[in-house]
Chain A
């Protein structure tokens, strides 16, 4: 297993080049979408609600939007690349060479991290003008951004391998990723929820990614960042394990 092999680096570079060549769609569009969320929610709710003590709503919202962009775009990168390659048949160019399942997974996941963080950084740079943000624990910001993007990159690999048509991938994205992200506390603190939904939110791993990420900014969170880190790390190991197993077995790839 060599994560820095020429094969890994080439596949990683290809994945970067793939999304960079359509940057308007893959980078600019999600930044604009997040900007719209900020303008609408920030304008309507600023001064009316307070999610964290001493933190303006717009300031509270920005880390949530940044993390949501990171997660959704990390997922989109690996999943769309794989499904496109499968459907057009050019996945054969990855399957014929002597690339190991570790190299394939790590290339797709690291490229997803780059895309997720690029969009997240873009969202941050644009939205940071609208509120005063503090960076209480920058290391936590970096750790949760990296882990969150890696998790969604691995999840994208799983979905991309599993789905046989765009329709199935869209279902995965719309019925799983999107609700899990939206209901993970991007726009609100889960402490504002009724007890039942508060309890349900604790079973959503996306909540821990966003809560931990936000802790890095404000030093305040709904649960301890260490708890979030442990849950997020375990979630990553499980998903990476599932993805690597699918690749090793050739599930829906090598018949």
Chain B
């Protein structure tokens, strides 16, 4: 079953095209990552999904319901955690959650509200006014508000931006549980290690276009190799290995750092490590430290955003 169907969505603001024909299909039960740099169009796309922004062209469906024409059914199926830390200063945490529940047509929802608060460590703050909460606590309430009607599709727009480790762990534990129970989760985040750990499939947006769409395992396989970081006690990198020096944001690490000679070398196969070590030995270089670093989502992200070919 398709949880979110996005077809050729375009959106412009005063001549600036924020989305240029985005099409995506997210299946029920998926943990899906929507990644991209600032200004890529992630929040615009999420706003289209949530019905906060109306696309100029194209359509969005939640569980088959058009978010504009059949907005009631579409919104009932959707819970959105907005990126901005917004709250209503008039109410306590419990009042906020009861009101949000009522907007979704749910009366006597206290049992689930209590469970959500418990899972997000909000119970102790239930009767505290929203104004008195820390930023992290307000973020938890935002998450709780999105979950108050048990939506089958949950969209989290940078839910861990600026929050402490404890909340991250609490949040991911709860969200993972909901995902295991069958809820679809769409996540945007700048913390790529979070996306790598949580998401089964990822779309990368760049200037309003989808530039990559694949499962996490396929994406990780597509990256061009791993990195071998060598720290030489004495000697320098032989000429024959210079072509392996990484040319990315780690460039600084590929140059001597003053304390010794530290190099980051790209390796496509593990067999190349043996070759590198042999060359270093031949040149008389002495290795102080060595680390083989597996390519991760961040490497892929950087390559894709820089427009480098992905193998």
Contact = CB atoms under 8 A, between A and B. Distances in A.
Interface stretch (A64-72, A92-100, A136-144, A192-200): A92-100
A89 interface: yes
Nearest to A99: B103
Contacts, number: 82
Contact of A11 (B54, B103, B145): B103
Contact of A93 (B71, B78, B88): B88
Contacts of B101: 10
A135 interface: no
Interface stretch (B45-53, B285-293, B300-308): B45-53
B100 A95 contact: no
Nearest to A93: B100
Interface in B127-157: 145, 149
Given A17-B90, A90-B87, A10 B71 contact: no
Given A6-B102, A10-B102, A10-B103, A92 B52 contact: yes
Contacts of B51: 95-96, 254
B154 to A, nearest CB: 12
Contacts of B105: 5-7, 98
A48 interface: no
Contacts of A189: none
Give the interface size class of chain B: 35 or more
B258 interface: no
A18 B52 contact: no
Interface string A64-104: 00000000000000000000010011101111111110000
B88 A100 contact: no
A255 B95 CA distance: 29
B244 to A, nearest CB: 49
Interface in B65-90: 71-76, 78, 80, 82, 84, 86-90
Contacts of B87: 88, 90
A176 B103 CA distance: 33
A21 interface: yes
A246 to B, nearest CB: 14
Contacts of B103: 7, 10-11, 93-94, 97, 99
A253 to B, nearest CB: 8
Contacts of A89: 82, 84, 86
A86 to B, nearest CB: 11
A9 B99 CA distance: 10
Contacts of B13: 255
Contact of B72 (A9, A21, A96, A98): A98
Contacts of A17: 90-91, 95
A11 B88 CA distance: 13
Nearest to A11: B103
B211 interface: no
A11 to B, nearest CB: 7
B86 A92 contact: yes
B104 interface: yes
A242 to B, nearest CB: 20
Contacts of A9: 102
Most buried by B among A10, A99, A100: A10
B107 interface: yes
B277 interface: no
Contact of B90 (A5, A6, A21, A96): A21
B53 A10 contact: no
A93 B149 CA distance: 13
Most buried by A among B84, B99, B145: B99
A100 B72 contact: yes
B106 interface: yes
Contacts of A99: 103
A5 B145 CA distance: 20
A115 to B, nearest CB: 14
A17 B71 CA distance: 27
A96 B80 contact: yes
A250 interface: yes
A13 B102 contact: yes
A14 interface: yes
A90 B88 contact: yes
Nearest to B50: A96
B231 to A, nearest CB: 49
Interface of B: 13, 47, 50-54, 71-76, 78, 80, 82, 84, 86-91, 95, 99-107, 145, 149
Please provide the 3 A-B residue pairs with the shortest distance between their CB atoms, ordered closest to farther.
A10-B102, A97-B103, A89-B86
Interface of A: 5-7, 9-11, 13-14, 17-18, 21-22, 85, 88-90, 92-100, 250, 254-255
Given A6-B107, A14-B102, A98-B73, 12 more contacts: A17-B91, A17-B95, A88-B88, A92-B84, A93-B86, A93-B103, A94-B103, A96-B52, A96-B78, A96-B80, A97-B149, A254-B54
14 contacts: A6-B102, A6-B105, A14-B91, A17-B90, A17-B91, A89-B84, A90-B87, A92-B82, A93-B100, A97-B149, A98-B71, A98-B73, A254-B52, A255-B52
